Amino acid sequence: MIGIIVHAGAGNWNVENGHLEEAVRACEAAVAAGQAILLNGGSALDAVEAAVHVLEDCPVLDAGRGSYPNTDGAVEMDALIMDGRSLKLGAIAAIQRVRHPISLARRVMTDSGHHFLVGAGADAFADSIGFPRCDVSELLVGEDLVKYRQKEAQAALGDTVGAVALDAAGDLAAATSTGGTANKRPGRVGDSPLVGCGAYADNWTAAVSATGYGEALMRVVISKRVCDFVGTGLSAGSACEAAIRVLEERTEGDGGLIAIDARGQIGFAFNTQAMPHAYAVGDGPIVSGR
């Protein structure tokens, strides 16, 4: 049984300007892209990468195009992809001038001999493999929108994106991509590219992607925690809810989670005002929510 669920960031979404609706539509398109790959026998890794591409292209989301600039006006992005079969992962942090950070993270996993590259080293790796670079202007979506969204991003939350999937071979994968929080310091890295925090995938339990206030999420290693809860017998949904309770009780942080377990059961939870998301199981309809 194949399945996929995606999110477009837990936060205080403004319900009046149309961005939340646009984010839900992008989630539906992302699931459609991933579901088509999975139904054709494609891998969970391919499905989550393709789904995150759609979300990285959406200008109202804080990943790839539409990322928040930092206080220097530079765009520094973080991404993590993980293969639940081998537990291999690829991550990048503070990468600049890349349209699809998730694909560079995947190349780190497959081609760098390492699992996590940052800053100038990540840049050098991207150039060494001929990874497509872009101008920073392609990532910024206009001063008005950026300023507007910075104001909207109270509590320093962004609109990070993520996807998790189960393929026909029974393999799980997880992916998370972000421009980080609004008004962040140069060099700031949140939970998103940290293994077990921004995402985790293990065929023995579940695949998980997290979003929210990174400085809190990383303290409870939230994505791995969801997998551990699934390992104790909780459903994917109950495991997400339990991990959000831990986040609240131990850090008073805000966030959201999506998960799919090794049987294809979907779960999600968040303690923010909204978290646009969408999912599909088998060849079933795409279900979306906020």
Interface with ligand ASP by CB under 6 A: which residues? 9, 157-160, 178, 180-181, 190-192, 211-212, 214, 217
CB of 46 to ligand ASP, least distance (A): 24
Q: Is the CB of 3 or the CB of 158 nearer to ligand ASP?
A: 158
CB of 192 to ligand ASP, least distance (A): 5
CB of 189 to ligand ASP, least distance (A): 8
Q: Within 13 Å and on the Cβ side, how many CA atoms surround 146? A: 21
Alpha-carbon separation of residue 146 from 25, 149, 160, 211 (angstroms): 20, 5, 15, 19
Helix (H, G, I), strand (E, B) or coil at 151: helix
Q: Within 13 Å and on the Cβ side, how many CA atoms surround 142? A: 5
Return d(Cα 201, Cα 203) in angstroms, integer.
7
> Which residue(s) pair with 260 in the sheet?
207, 266
CB of 257 to ligand ASP, least distance (A): 11
> Which residue(s) pair with 208 in the sheet?
200, 259
CB of 1 to ligand ASP, least distance (A): 28
Amino acid at residue number 212: G
Q: Is the CB of 37 or the CB of 82 nearer to ligand ASP?
A: 82
Q: Which residues contact 165 (CB under 8 A, 6 or more apart)?
A: 2, 3, 4, 5, 34, 38, 44, 47, 48, 51, 172, 173, 207, 260
Return d(Cα 87, Cα 147) in angstroms, integer.
39
Q: Is the CB of 34 or the CB of 212 nearer to ligand ASP?
A: 212
Q: Is the CB of 63 or the CB of 109 nearer to ligand ASP?
A: 63
* Residue corresponding to tokens 């872009």: 134
User: Which residues are the active-site residues?
Assistant: 160
Return d(Cα 282, Cα 81) in angstroms, integer.
22
Counting Cβ atoms within 10 Å, is residue 170 exposed (0-12), middle (13-18) or buried (19+)? middle
Residue at shortest CB range from ligand ASP: 214
Q: Is the CB of 10 or the CB of 33 nearer to ligand ASP?
A: 10
Counting Cβ atoms within 10 Å, is residue 88 exposed (0-12), middle (13-18) or buried (19+)? middle
Q: Is the CB of 21 or the CB of 152 nearer to ligand ASP?
A: 152
Amino acid at residue number 264: G
